[in-house]
Chains A and B, each alone.
Chain A
Amino acid sequence: MTKAIITKEFLKTRRAFWCSLILALFFTIYALLGINRVIATHGVEHVWLIMLMKDQTFIDAIKYVPLLCGLLVGLSQMVPEMQQNRLKLTLHLPCPSFRLLVTMLTTGFVELTVVFLIQLATILVFYDRVIAPEMTWHVLLTSLPWYPAGYTAYFFSAAVCLEGKWKRRILLALTGAGVVSLYYLQPAPGAYNGFLPVALLATILLATLSYASIDRFKQGLID
């Protein structure tokens, strides 16, 4: 049954997955080509100087990509469930609703993780050729908060879509926007290093929000 649910979820999200991957790679390559242009016109010394003296990482182009990917996968996965209340059929499957939800969310989480890892690997491979290892890790750690933002967007979009009442959807969406914006408050490199472990734990806990939405749906709290 679990395998069938995973297949179902992947069939729903395959287009969103490939779009997210293309989007992530497009913006990553765009950012890296920008660095290549700086190296060609001013030399690699200029890249080091700007990074070390001006606190620049040259990857700002990918800042909002994880957020977009999270929204894309979340909406593509959960909107079909709410069309014509198809979630009722899903909840009638011979599977406990908690396990059902965990399987659904894990599928989306894994898809996002694959996209994010490919993006990070691309950045790592490029930067490792150009700058010192310490600076490469500095760049990667700077980009890390954007990925919890992507996961947060995914979990909140899932919870919003699965929620039956519009008033609650709006409140969940506003809360989600507030949480996501916390990851973009401080643009300084490495600013979130100390907070990342707590942020990751909090992001995992947000996955439980969808269960409340499903529970309310089962109680008939729908518009």
Chain B
Amino acid sequence: MSNFSKIILFFVSIAVLSWFLPWLYALLTPSPAGEPFCSLSPVNGQWIVSRSAPGEKPVIKLCAPFASSEEMENGETITVAVRDSLAPQLYYRQLVAHDKLPDTIAGKETTVHSLRSRELFFNGSPRDVNKRNPGMWLMMESMPPRVDLSDPEEAFRFTADGIEFVKIADNSVNATRSRRFTDAMKSRGFSFPATDLSANVSSKKAYDEGYLMIDSEGKLFHVKQRGGRPFVASVTMPDGAKADKAFIWEESDKSLLGMVVDTEGQPYVIMADGHVARPLPEEAGKVNPRKESIMAMGNLFNLTFRFTGPDGTRWRSFDADSLTLAGALDFPRVRPAAVEIARHIFPYTLAFTSAYESLAYPRISNLSLKALPLNLLLALILLFIGIRRKDSSMKWGALLTVPLGIFSFIPFILLHE
């Protein structure tokens, strides 16, 4: 039992050090986080790339719509005033204040109203996707008697063969509404239970579009409550495509209901008129909402996406009406020097949290063979100490240190007697 408890102590120490040392190293060597912000100009069709380093003024450059990294670096530097005039979709207020907003751009009438009505900004994070849900959702009234939206009075849950509404006030089931919604959803072909839901439940918004729901067979539906009654519409997707993750938008641009990614990673934009999911061109690439954050910026001229994942960031801009690809930029992830040095010290990293999930469990990552020389050196030191002390058990410490490196070396030095 004594040996067993010593082994437990060693392995607990190794586990704690595997987490703590890389965490401490990262804390002591912060790397500046700064992603460039890109927007496609409807005036000249070029990308406007803004970069800012901490403590420095932002540098704004122009580059071609399909520029390489080198072309981006060598792009023409422009001033803030030039940027404002080249990106009226973002800076129209500034232009209006100086009476510099043109009447038309790219053949489209540009007024404050026309620009504002097509504004769209959406930000989706993998942490919002990878999290636990209690199994209850809130249903707002999309057609309230008064103009302003009010907080939901009912929540709902899914049962094996239907949807059940619960009155929040007294925690009782609203059987009538439950039956109405279940019947309406079944009549549209909904297969219970739902596997994914997306909504923006808040009374502090202009309007409510309820939920985008994915059923158990991968079909996408738009579900909301209007005047207490169910509104259910099936979203048409290409044959064979199964929806995996949906995001509702509810932005100023009411023509776009949201976006959906299918099980193959193909992203679609959902048109409110006709409830049709239009696929983005192949050049958008595959999207993994569980590993990539998605930002969408829409305006009168284009719809621009930023997909940020472990490998880097890619920007894709599409024409607002035809959804044809208008520009593409890629920013591969560059490892800071401190991270490269860490790969020579730590053979792996143990983490219990992740930037992509709101779940806590042990994850081993950043496996690095570059730490092997250090591991071997530390193992030799333990062997040498074992020989000097005539302690044959040190050979086990040396053996363990070859794969585990410094995480095993420290407990053996401090705890072994």
Write out the residue numbers on chain A whose beta carbons fall within 8 Å of the beta carbon of B17. 178
B157 A134 Cβ-Cβ under 8 A: yes
Q: Mark B354-386, 1 if CB is under 8 A from A, else 0.
A: 000011111000000000000000000000000
Write out the residue numbers on chain B whose beta carbons fall within 8 Å of the beta carbon of A185. 352-353, 360
Given known A-B contacts A138-B132, A191-B360, A209 and B9 have beta carbons under 8 A apart: yes
Write out the residue numbers on chain B whose beta carbons fall within 8 Å of the beta carbon of A186. 352-353, 358-360
Cα–Cα, bound, A9→B339 (Å): 51
Is residue A60 within 8 Å, beta carbon to beta carbon, of the partner chain? no
Write out the residue numbers on chain B whose beta carbons fall within 8 Å of the beta carbon of A178. 16-17, 19-20
Write out the residue numbers on chain A whose beta carbons fall within 8 Å of the beta carbon of B352. 182, 185-186
A48 B155 Cβ-Cβ under 8 A: yes
A132 B166 Cβ-Cβ under 8 A: yes
A179 B12 Cβ-Cβ under 8 A: yes
Is residue A44 within 8 Å, beta carbon to beta carbon, of the partner chain? yes
A195 B5 Cβ-Cβ under 8 A: no
Write out the residue numbers on chain B whose beta carbons fall within 8 Å of the beta carbon of A40. none
Is residue A131 within 8 Å, beta carbon to beta carbon, of the partner chain? yes
Write out the residue numbers on chain A whose beta carbons fall within 8 Å of the beta carbon of B76. none
For chain B, the bracket of interface size reads 35 or more
Write out the residue numbers on chain A whose beta carbons fall within 8 Å of the beta carbon of B151. 45-46, 49
Is residue A212 within 8 Å, beta carbon to beta carbon, of the partner chain? yes
Write out the residue numbers on chain B whose beta carbons fall within 8 Å of the beta carbon of A138. 132, 134-135
Q: A57 → chain B, closest Cβ, in Å?
A: 10
Is residue B137 within 8 Å, beta carbon to beta carbon, of the partner chain? yes
Contact partner of A195 among B131, B134, B138, B360, CB < 8 A?
B360
B132 A132 Cβ-Cβ under 8 A: no
Is residue B171 within 8 Å, beta carbon to beta carbon, of the partner chain? yes
Write out the residue numbers on chain A whose beta carbons fall within 8 Å of the beta carbon of B414. 171
Chain A residue at minimal CB-CB distance from B17: A178
A191 B152 Cβ-Cβ under 8 A: no
B16 A179 Cβ-Cβ under 8 A: yes
Cα–Cα, bound, A46→B358 (Å): 24
Write out the residue numbers on chain B whose beta carbons fall within 8 Å of the beta carbon of A211. 1-2, 5
Taking CB atoms and an 8 Å cut-off, the chain A residues in 30-73 that contact chain B are 44-46, 48-49, 51-53, 55
Cα–Cα, bound, A175→B11 (Å): 11
Q: A139 → chain B, closest Cβ, in Å?
A: 8
B359 A135 Cβ-Cβ under 8 A: no
Q: Mark A187-213, 1 if CB is under 8 A from B, else 0.
A: 011111111000000100110111110
Cα–Cα, bound, A41→B62 (Å): 54
Taking CB atoms and an 8 Å cut-off, the chain B residues in 180-230 that contact chain A are 201-202
B13 A175 Cβ-Cβ under 8 A: yes
Given known A-B contacts A45-B153, A48-B155, A132-B157, A195 and B1 have beta carbons under 8 A apart: no
Cα–Cα, bound, A62→B408 (Å): 35
B131 A188 Cβ-Cβ under 8 A: yes
Q: Mark B1-25, 1 if CB is under 8 A from A, else 0.
A: 1101110110011001101100000
Cα–Cα, bound, A175→B17 (Å): 9
Cα–Cα, bound, A101→B137 (Å): 49
Is residue A166 within 8 Å, beta carbon to beta carbon, of the partner chain? no
Q: B13 → chain A, closest Cβ, in Å?
A: 5
B131 A194 Cβ-Cβ under 8 A: no
B135 A134 Cβ-Cβ under 8 A: yes
B residues whose Cβ falls under 8 Å from a Cβ of A: 1-2, 4-6, 8-9, 12-13, 16-17, 19-20, 131-132, 134-138, 151-153, 155, 157, 166, 168-169, 171, 201-202, 352-353, 358-362, 414-415, 417
**A and B contact pairs by CB, cutoff 8 A, 8 listed:** A45-B153, A45-B169, A49-B138, A52-B136, A132-B134, A175-B16, A191-B131, A193-B132
Given contacts A49-B138, A52-B155, A52-B201, 9 further A-B contacts (CB under 8 A): A48-B155, A129-B171, A132-B155, A145-B360, A186-B352, A191-B359, A191-B360, A211-B5, A212-B2
